Structure formats: structure tokens, C-alpha cells
């Protein structure tokens, strides 16, 4: 990377001039937003009302929106403006939004004939510039970037034509990321919908959506009718610490070292339980959405787990992958486990491996189990493909933010 002569590591053909270092005070003007008291925030839009841009707006899972009546013109912004958080989660850059902005934001104004909006947004978001912004915000519990500290920052800029070339490339990359994110999100929603519709509701004995050719009612039995406790131990030490497994709510049963970067096993693993492919594991550890633990099927390779886990073998009439999908519904899983589990003072699960099988479940025939499991495996495959593509594109974007801009020291 050529820092001394102010040129980026990756550059479009035809651009050779050094980038010009500029102090931010020479090219930017800041204005600060307004703190609006809660009693003057409205949940419904109306005439002369403006969307109120707060930190809540930055949360992808938030649906909270407020509107302000007739705010001062000095705190209004439109899609061409750049906003940046100045306190708390300092340095988050926002654009393409219209409304009035909170006191936690700066509006960054610039001369549009010399500087490109998306170039500025991406430059401020580079890892190097983010580090400089956070350092300038101070080391207190809540970082707070002042006007003075922002103006002292220095960046290097090419001419407007090169800025626009960089912006166009990154916009196209962002569009690809958005496209794959939407596809991924849609598949996740489809899976959640099918987890509800392809299993009977409470009190019913058939699901709402069913494969053609299956008409019989599902049977209600205790779970121990379908799976049985395994007491197979690693006494011969055929498995080592490298084979210790962990159970993740999102990723299922995974190798502990590959997933967490290290093994948390004790000195000896001879008393660990053996988990074969197709075995079912109950994790007696609470998660936020699953306070009584989770139930997953081993789909990868055999390994071992500590005595804190319960291991089960599927019986002949049971497709073990179906068992996992049955319990992938948080509602079904929590409803099943709650009557069986006593939680201790340390939030530990007080239930024996055998007693965890005494709850009632409702399963179809083996053939229908297999058909349902196959559908969800197909969905999971496509979800994983889009997730990997999404991660790949995000890593490319991260790399480009490092290599297409001059990294100031």
C-alpha cells in the first residue's frame, strides 16, 4: 500500500495522480440535530410532519418510527445529505433518508461539484477512518465526537471523476449485497412459514400443508416412542479433544474447535458421550429464545459431547432429521420442554436424560417424516448458499474499503 505518495492499493486504469490530503475543516461543514421531547413525538405521519431520524432508525430489526411536527429548518435533511452519529455508536454513516435528525447526529455538508456523496460515505466507513473517528471521540464510557475533533481529521481525496468511478463500483457491490440479503431473508421467512404450516397446530392431528398422497392422521406419543437414550461412552478413547462437538441454535451440531476456535474439554474425554451421525442431542443450556435448551440432530460427522448433553438414538420408525425440524419451532420446543424441566438457582436444567423424553409429540409415518425432512434440508441448502454468497460479497466490500482508499497514518 502506497501511503507516502497518497495512492490507493487498488485503482481504476487511467488514474495516476496522487490523492490530495485535506483537513476536514477545509471541505466539510457540520450542523447538529435536535433533541425532541417524547411528548412531541408522534407515531403517525401527517401534514407538516417529518420522520424523526434517531439511533433507533439504525437498528435493522426495529419498526419504531416517530414523526415531528414542523421542526426547525436547520435540522431537516433529504436524500442528498450525509448524516453521521456523533455520540454512543459514533461513526455510523447514513444517507438517502429524508426527515429531521436527532441531536446524536451530525449533518455533513460539502461542495457537491468537488466531492461525491457516496465516495464520502464509503471513505468515512473505511476501517482506518472509523478508527480515527472513534479515537477522536474520546475514551469515555460513551464516545462523543465534537465539531472541533471532526474538523481536525485529515483525509486524502482524488478528483471528482475518480471519486465517482469508485462510488459506482461500490454502489453496484452494495446492490448485489442487498439482492442476496433479500433472497436470504425471503428463504428464512419461507422456512419459518413452513415450520408452522407443515406441522399440526395445537389440538389438530393433521397439518395445514401436506405432500400429496399422505392422508392419515398423525399419531401422538411420548417422545421415547420415537427415540431412546444412548449411554455409549468414549471409554476406548477412539475420539479425542479434536472430536468434541458443540450445539448451536443457528448452526446445529458442530465441531467445537472449528466453530469456537478451541476445545473446552477437560483433561480426559473418556467419559464423554459418543454422538453418531443421525443421533439427537439435547443441550441443557438456556438460550434467549429457548430457555429450556435446544434439540438438534447430528448431520455432519461423529464426535463426542460432555456429560452435560443428553444423546439419543432414533428408533426404526423415526427419521432423525425430522426430529430436529419438529423442534426448530421455538414455540413447539419450549412448549414441549417447559413441563419436563426444573430450572435450578444457577439457571441449570434439572431433568434426567430419560425424563426429557416423557413429553408428548405428534409425528406422521416414517415416509411422511422423510418427505418433510427432505424439503427442509433442501431449504437449508439454499439458505446456506445465499448466506455464503452474502458473506463473500461483504468480505469483498470490506477489502475494497481498505484497498481502494488511501489509508492515512
The enclosing domain of 349 has a CATH number of: 3.90.220
Report the CATH number that the domain containing residue 27 is assigned in CATH.
3.90.220.20
The verdict on residue 307 lying in a domain is: yes
Q: What integer pLDDT is reported at residue 52 of this predicted model?
A: 87
Q: Which residues contact 376 (CB under 8 A, 6 or more apart)?
A: 191, 194, 195, 321, 325, 328
- Mean pLDDT for all residues in the chain: 89
Q: What integer pLDDT is reported at residue 344 of this predicted model?
A: 65
The verdict on residue 7 lying in a domain is: no
* Residue 274 bridge partners (DSSP): 304
| Phi/psi of residue 43, nearest 5 degrees | -85, -15
The verdict on residue 1 lying in a domain is: no
**Dist. CA 328–CA 334, nearest whole Å:** 10
**End position of a domain, from candidates 157, 176, 192:** 157
231 plus 95 within the same structural domain: no
- Res. 345: pLDDT tops 60: no
Task: Work out the average pLDDT over 178-190.
Answer: 95
Asked if residue 227 lies in contact with residue 314, where contact means CB atoms within 8 angstroms, the answer is yes
- Res. 151: pLDDT tops 80: yes
Binned at pLDDT 50, 70 and 90, residue 93 comes out as: very high
The verdict on residue 325 lying in a domain is: yes
Q: Which of 86-90, 245-249, 381-385 has the highest mean pLDDT?
A: 381-385
Hey, what's the cell of 362?
Answer: 405428534
399 plus 355 within the same structural domain: no
- Res. 3: pLDDT tops 60: no
190 plus 292 within the same structural domain: no
Hey, what's the cell of 66?
Answer: 416517530
85 plus 174 within the same structural domain: no
Hey, what's the cell of 162?
Answer: 475518480
Q: How many CB atoms lie within 10 A of CB 257?
A: 17
**Dist. CA 248–CA 148, nearest whole Å:** 46
Task: Work out the average pLDDT over 133-139.
Answer: 84
- Res. 1: pLDDT tops 60: no
Binned at pLDDT 50, 70 and 90, residue 284 comes out as: confident
CA proximity to 407, closest of 168, 171, 126: 126
The torsion angle over the Cα atoms of residues 201, 202, 203 and 205, rounded to 10 degrees, is: 40
Report the CATH number that the domain containing residue 372 is assigned in CATH.
1.10.287.1120
**What percent of the chain shows pLDDT beyond 90?**
60
Q: What integer pLDDT is reported at residue 2 of this predicted model?
A: 42
Q: What integer pLDDT is reported at residue 56 of this predicted model?
A: 78
Terminal Cα distance for the chain, rounded: 12
122 plus 185 within the same structural domain: no
How do residues 303-321 score in pLDDT, each as one tens digit? Answer: 988 888 999 999 999 999 9
- Which range is least confidently modeled, 62-76, 212-226, 298-312? 62-76
How large is the C-alpha radius of gyration of the chain?
28
336 plus 226 within the same structural domain: yes
The verdict on residue 3 lying in a domain is: no
Range of the domain at 337: 219-363
Task: Work out the average pLDDT over 48-60.
Answer: 81
Q: What integer pLDDT is reported at residue 263 of this predicted model?
A: 76
Task: Work out the average pLDDT over 268-296.
Answer: 90
**End position of a domain, from candidates 120, 137, 157:** 157
Binned at pLDDT 50, 70 and 90, residue 382 comes out as: very high
Number of domains in the chain: 3
Residues in the chain: 409
- Res. 144: pLDDT tops 50: yes
352 plus 398 within the same structural domain: no
The verdict on residue 264 lying in a domain is: yes
Q: What integer pLDDT is reported at residue 4 of this predicted model?
A: 55
Q: What integer pLDDT is reported at residue 223 of this predicted model?
A: 96
Q: What integer pLDDT is reported at residue 347 of this predicted model?
A: 64
Cα→Cα distances 44→70, 72, 102, Å = 14, 19, 18
Three-class SS of residue 101?
strand
The verdict on residue 11 lying in a domain is: no
Binned at pLDDT 50, 70 and 90, residue 44 comes out as: confident
Q: What integer pLDDT is reported at residue 350 of this predicted model?
A: 82
238 plus 345 within the same structural domain: yes
- Res. 262: pLDDT tops 60: yes
- Res. 300: pLDDT tops 60: yes
**Dist. CA 320–CA 326, nearest whole Å:** 10
**Dist. CA 235–CA 144, nearest whole Å:** 58
182 plus 275 within the same structural domain: no
**End position of a domain, from candidates 138, 157, 176:** 157
**Dist. CA 138–CA 149, nearest whole Å:** 9
138 plus 242 within the same structural domain: no
Q: What integer pLDDT is reported at residue 163 of this predicted model?
A: 96
The verdict on residue 271 lying in a domain is: yes
How do residues 350-370 score in pLDDT, each as one tens digit? Answer: 888 999 999 999 999 999 999
265 plus 184 within the same structural domain: no
295 plus 347 within the same structural domain: yes
Task: Work out the average pLDDT over 52-75.
Answer: 81
Amino acid at each position: 500500500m502506497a501511503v507516502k505518495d497518497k495512492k490507493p492499493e487498488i485503482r481504476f486504469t487511467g488514474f495516476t495522480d496522487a490523492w490530495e490530503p485535506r483537513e476536514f475543516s477545509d471541505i466539510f461543514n457540520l450542523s447538529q440535530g435536535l433533541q425532541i421531547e417524547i411528548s412531541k413525538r408522534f407515531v403517525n405521519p401527517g401534514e407538516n410532519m417529518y420522520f424523526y431520524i434517531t439511533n433507533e432508525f439504525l437498528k435493522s430489526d426495529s419498526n419504531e418510527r416517530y414523526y415531528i411536527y414542523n421542526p426547525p429548518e436547520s435540522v431537516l435533511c433529504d436524500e442528498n445529505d450525509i448524516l453521521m452519529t456523533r455520540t454512543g455508536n459514533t461513526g455510523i454513516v447514513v444517507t438517502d433518508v429524508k426527515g429531521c435528525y436527532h441531536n446524536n447526529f451530525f449533518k455533513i455538508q460539502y461542495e457537491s461539484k468537488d466531492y461525491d456523496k457516496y465516495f464520502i460515505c464509503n471513505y468515512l466507513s473505511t476501517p482506518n477512518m472509523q478508527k480515527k473517528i472513534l479515537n477522536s471521540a474520546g475514551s469515555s464510557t460513551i464516545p462523543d465526537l465534537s465539531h472541533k475533533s471532526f474538523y481536525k481529521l485529515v483525509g486524502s481525496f482524488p478528483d471528482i471523476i475518480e471519486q465517482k468511478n469508485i462510488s459506482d463500483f461500490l454502489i453496484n457491490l452494495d446492490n448485489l449485497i442487498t439482492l442476496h440479503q433479500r433472497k436470504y431473508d425471503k428463504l428464512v421467512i419461507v422456512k419459518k412459514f413452513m415450520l408452522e404450516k407443515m406441522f399440526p397446530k395445537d389440538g389438530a392431528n393433521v397439518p395445514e400443508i401436506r405432500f400429496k398422497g399422505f392422508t392419515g392422521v398423525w399419531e401422538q406419543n411420548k417422545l421415547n416412542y420415537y427415540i431412546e437414550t444412548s449411554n455409549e461412552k468414549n471409554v476406548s478413547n477412539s475420539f479425542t479433544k479434536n472430536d468434541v462437538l458443540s450445539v448451536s441454535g443457528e448452526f446445529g451440531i458442530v465441531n467445537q474447535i472449528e466453530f469456537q476456535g478451541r476445545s473446552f474439554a477437560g483433561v480426559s474425554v473418556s467419559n464423554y458421550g459418543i454422538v453418531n451421525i443421525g443421533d439427537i442431542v439435547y443441550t441443557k443450556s438456556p438460550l434467549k429464545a429457548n430457555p429450556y435448551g435446544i434439540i438438534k440432530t447430528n448431520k455432519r460427522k461423529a464426535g463426542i459431547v460432555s456429560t452435560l448433553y443428553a444423546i439419543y438414538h432414533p428408533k426404526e420408525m423415526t427419521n432423525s432429521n425430522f426430529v430436529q425440524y419438529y423442534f426448530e419451532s421455538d414455540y413447539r420446543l419450549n412448549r414441549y420442554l417447559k413441563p419436563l424441566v426444573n430450572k435450578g438457582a444457577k439457571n441449570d436444567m434439572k431433568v434426567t436424560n430419560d425424563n426429557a423424553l416423557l413429553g408428548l409429540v405428534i409425528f406422521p409415518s416414517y415416509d411422511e417424516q422423510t418427505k418433510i425432512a427432505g424439503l427442509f434440508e433442501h431449504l437449508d441448502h439454499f439458505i446456506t448458499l445465499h448466506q455464503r454468497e452474502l458473506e463473500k460479497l461483504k468480505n469483498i466490500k470490506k477489502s475494497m474499503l481498505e484497498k481502494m482508499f488511501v489509508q492515512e497514518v
